[in-house]
Amino acid sequence: MKERLEQVFSAHAGTSAELIPILQQVQEEFGYLPEEAMESIARFLRVPASRVYAVASFYAQFRFSPMGRHKVSVCTGTACHVKGADRVLDGVERVLGVSEGETTEDGEYTLETVACIGCCGLAPVLTIDDEAHGRLTPQGADRLFAKGEDSRQ
């Protein structure tokens, strides 16, 4: 871990204003923010660890536990909401057997909601690893995962 962190730090001067970009890059590297990494960031920027944690926990982008291999984000923006995003989310939760914010037992999928991905014309929409799938119905969501698993095998 140390070397990978050094690699991230090497592109920065070590001022506290760099905290958010550093957190983003560390998360990009590890998939989440390990506690040890946050302590290293605090030492590198010469700020208290509490400041690092305060900032990391304030912003929705940061996570403190590892992700599944694939990220599923169900959009719950307004357009998606009025077109049945709740039902799509219910459907995906049933198919994957997890609730929002959780990872499947096999570590395959992490299920999240996102406030709006700006594809309102495709509502309701979800993304699997940044690929958008639109105009979904709960049944369509079912099929998506059946198909997704096949194509990945």
Identify the CA nearest to 96 among candidates 78, 114, 71: 71
31 touches another protein by CB under 8 A: no
How far is residue 84's CA from residue 125's CA, in Å, rounded to a whole number?
10
120 touches another protein by CB under 8 A: yes
91 vs 148 by CB, closer to another protein? 91
For residues 74 to 113, the per-residue mask of contacts with another protein, x marking binding by CB under 8 A and - elsewhere, is --xxxx-xxx---x--xx--x-------------------
User: How many CB atoms neighbour CB 5 within 10 A?
Assistant: 20
The structure tokens listed for 137 are 């119905």
55 vs 104 by CB, closer to another protein? 55
The structure tokens listed for 106 are 């096999």
43 touches another protein by CB under 8 A: no
Phi-psi region of 28 (alpha: psi -120 to 50; beta: other; left: phi over 0): alpha
Q: Note the residues at the interface with another protein (CB under 8 A).
A: 15-21, 23-24, 54-55, 58-62, 76-79, 81-83, 87, 90-91, 94, 114-123, 125, 130-134, 137-139
